[in-house]
Amino acid sequence: MLTRLGAALRGTPAERVAGLRLALRLAFLILAAPGLPLGLLYLLTRPAPLGLPVTAALVLTAVLLGLGTLWLARRAAVSPQIPREQRGLSAAIQGASAPAVAFLLGCASLSSWPAALLLWGLAVAFYAFVWQQLPAWAAQGKDPKDRPER
């Protein structure tokens, strides 16, 4: 799979986007995979349901952390300190942490289904946003000679 990822990142623009999408999926799975078993294990301790203020605080925390990671991912996509061919990959991997944070907070909130569903919905929204950004981030890794003139 990593060989396929490496080949895609050196290919055509469409292959680069496909490679970044694969990197996003892998990074999200690696970050989020521990959430469900740990959340279910926590649920066995029968925690009290979360109140509205706690739910609001968790959602706000997820939004702020997610926006922060998206800002860092965007910086990675355009950073002159990162080699041009690695910018999109760095951005995709960093961008995966935005939905992962919301997902993990949702897993920690399994005792309160409204909180978990809100946080998982936020994770889906962040994931969709990053997915849509990948073509632009892939273009940042192209040689300036390959970009169309404006």
pLDDT of 149 reads 47
| Per-residue pLDDT tens listing for the chain (150 residues) | 677 677 667 788 888 898 999 999 999 999 999 998 888 888 888 888 889 999 999 999 999 999 999 999 999 999 999 988 889 999 999 999 999 999 999 999 988 889 999 999 999 999 999 999 999 998 876 655 545 444
Residue 120, judged by CB atoms within 10 A of its CB (0-12, 13-18, 19+), counts as middle
| Residues contacting residue 147 through CB under 8 Å, at least 6 positions apart | 139
Q: How would DSSP label each residue in 62-130?
A: HHHHHHHHHHHHHHHHH-TTS-GGGHHHHHHHHHTHHHHHHHHHHHHTTTSHHHHHHHHHHHHHHHHHH
Q: How would DSSP label each residue in 5-60?
A: HHHHHTS-HHHHHHHHHHHHHHHHHHHHTTHHHHHHHHHTT-PPPPPHHHHHHHHH
